[in-house]
């Protein structure tokens, strides 16, 4: 069967071939101007400081100009790094496509060689055998090169997701939050923007471990930002997977959702994330799992000197259901809940926890009494708000159940704080009163 280059690879080359040098050149011009602005901000700060008597207003102006300069320098560096990385990966993909085209040409040459030999009155069998052997080698090389090209293209797409988080995704936001925030409330002042940027934690490690609780052993993954052991007061988020990872399987814990996005560096959690493997939550063994999970969370908070007022829960499907339960069973422990495609009975303790729920409008649950229905999620949010709590529902229009946990990490939504962000960014800022 004749080899064909996958259409996504051919289209990529057609769109970008010959344009990458222009992209690099344009980026260089932009970063040069940003660098010049940074220098101008530094000079202005120095001039103000030297020529005006120190006062609250003067100090504030100098501070803002200095912060602006620092912010622009980091932006300039990040743009250069990001574009260079993207251009490098794009060049690699195009190079691989060129290689594939050459391989196809070489295969055709060997096939013609065989055809020519077979037309002879006395074909040379060794020539035909040699050509077939080379065709086999070329076919293997073709398949390997295709996988390499696809891998590089996937890496490029992942990089693109990390730099395009600012695009707003339409979603229906429920009652419970005023989105018209002032700058003081975190509505997005310029100064807050570069303060957030400068303070952004760097990627760290995702490790697997086992914790010996009083209720038995529990296996878990732990994400720790770079240098976390030297930073006190970090937030901690407990992530609870869906039911498909119960028992011995890992399913929705590592197969998709938050673990996958952290491991591939498509998200950068601004705090510590605990991802326990839950074997059950509602049987006798389930009660032990709950106890082990709570003890594990307290252990991590203590070990890393994290902020006990910034301990939150996020969960998908069965994990969201258990999130509601853990809040009710451990009053005063959690600051916020991101409930994705799941809900449960609302207790009075829920009014003291900020809730941001996400649910597909076509999620009809899994039979009578299901706690994964869209209507149930609406009811839970309304109940919390009627008790004086703060809960928001973001509706994922036209979506069902399973893929919502990916959607809420791939795209941004208007959060209860009025920012355009993912639940992961929102939840790490929340603090218990």
Report which of 161, 138, 357 is spatially closest to residue 267, judged by C-alpha positions. Answer: 161
Residue 282 has a CB neighbour count (10 Å cut-off) of: 13
**pLDDT in the model for residue 427:** 96
Contact 264, 270 (CB under 8 A): no
Task: Report strand pairing: 354-360 vs 391-396.
Answer: parallel
Contact 334, 312 (CB under 8 A): yes
pLDDT tens digits, 263-280 = 988 899 999 999 998 877
The CATH H-level (homologous superfamily) assignment of domain 172-429 is: Alpha/Beta hydrolase fold, catalytic domain (3.40.50.1820)
Question: Both tokens of residue 197?
Answer: 């940027």
**pLDDT over 90, % of the chain:** 42
Contact 327, 337 (CB under 8 A): yes
Q: Under DSSP, is residue 375 helix (H, G, I), strand (E, B) or coil?
A: helix
User: Would residue 337 be called left, alpha or beta, if left means φ above 0 and alpha means ψ between -120 and 50 degrees?
Assistant: beta
**pLDDT in the model for residue 251:** 53
**pLDDT in the model for residue 250:** 54
Half-sphere exposure of 182 (CA within 13 A, CB side): 2
Contact 104, 5 (CB under 8 A): yes
User: What are the structural domain ranges in the chain?
Assistant: 7-162, 172-429
Q: Which residues of the chain have pLDDT under 70?
A: 1, 158-199, 244-253, 256, 281, 365-368
**pLDDT in the model for residue 164:** 44
Q: How far is CA 191 from CA 58, 186, 260, in A?
A: 16, 10, 33
pTM value is: 0.59
pLDDT tens digits, 1-46 = 578 999 999 898 888 888 888 888 888 888 889 889 989 988 998 8
Interior angle at CA 218, CA 216 and CA 220, nearest 5: 165
Report which of 200, 259, 235, 257 is spatially closest to residue 312, judged by C-alpha positions. Answer: 235
**Directed axis angle between helix 318-329 and helix 284-303, to 10°?**
70
Separation between Cα atoms, residue 8 and residue 22, nearest integer Å: 22
SS3 content of the chain, % helix, strand, coil (to 5): 55, 15, 35
Report which of 166, 30, 8, 157 is spatially closest to residue 94, judged by C-alpha positions. Answer: 8
**pLDDT in the model for residue 116:** 94
């Amino acid at each position: 069967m004749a080899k064909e280059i996958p259409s996504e690879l051919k289209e990529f080359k057609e769109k970008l071939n010959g344009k990458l040098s222009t992209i690099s050149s344009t980026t260089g011009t932009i970063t040069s101007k940003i660098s010049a602005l940074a220098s101008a901000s530094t000079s202005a700060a120095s001039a103000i400081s030297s020529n005006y008597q120190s006062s609250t207003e003067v100090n504030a102006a100098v501070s803002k100009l200095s912060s602006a300069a620092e912010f622009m320098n980091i932006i300039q560096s990040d743009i250069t790094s990001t574009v260079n990385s993207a251009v490098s990966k794009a060049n690699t993909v195009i190079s691989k496509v060129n290689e594939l085209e050459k391989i196809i040409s070489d295969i055709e040459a060997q096939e013609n060689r065989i055809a020519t030999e077979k037309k002879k009155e006395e074909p040379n069998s060794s020539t035909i055998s040699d050509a077939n052997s080379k065709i086999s080698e070329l076919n293997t090389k073709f398949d390997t090169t295709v996988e390499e090209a696809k891998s590089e293209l996937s890496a490029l797409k992942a990089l693109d997701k990390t730099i395009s988080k600012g695009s707003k995704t339409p979603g229906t936001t429920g009652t419970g939050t005023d989105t018209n925030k002032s700058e003081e409330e975190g509505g997005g002042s310029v100064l807050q923007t570069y303060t957030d940027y400068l303070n952004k934690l760097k990627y760290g490690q995702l490790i697997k471990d086992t914790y010996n609780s009083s209720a038995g052993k529990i296996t878990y993954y732990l994400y720790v930002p770079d240098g976390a052991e030297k930073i006190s007061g970090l937030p901690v988020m407990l992530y609870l997977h869906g039911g498909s990872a119960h028992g011995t399987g890992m399913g929705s814990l590592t197969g998709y959702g938050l673990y996958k996005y952290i491991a591939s560096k498509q998200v950068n959690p601004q705090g510590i994330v605990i991802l326990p493997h839950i074997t059950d939550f509602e049987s006798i063994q389930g009660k032990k799992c709950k106890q082990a999970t709570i003890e594990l969370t307290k252990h991590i908070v203590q070990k890393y000197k994290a902020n006990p007022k910034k301990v939150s829960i996020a969960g998908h499907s069965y994990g969201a259901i258990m999130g509601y339960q853990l809040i009710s069973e451990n009053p005063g422990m959690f600051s916020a809940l991101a409930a994705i495609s799941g809900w449960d009975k609302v207790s009075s303790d829920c009014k003291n926890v900020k809730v941001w729920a996400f649910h597909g409008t076509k999620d009809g649950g899994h039979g009578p009494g299901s706690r994964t229905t869209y209507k149930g999620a609406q009811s839970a949010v309304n109940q919390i708000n009627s008790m004086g709590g703060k809960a928001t529902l973001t509706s994922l229009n036209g979506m069902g159940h399973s893929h919502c946990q990916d959607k809420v990490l791939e795209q941004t939504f208007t959060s209860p704080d009025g920012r355009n962000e993912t639940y992961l960014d929102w939840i790490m800022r929340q603090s218990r009163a």
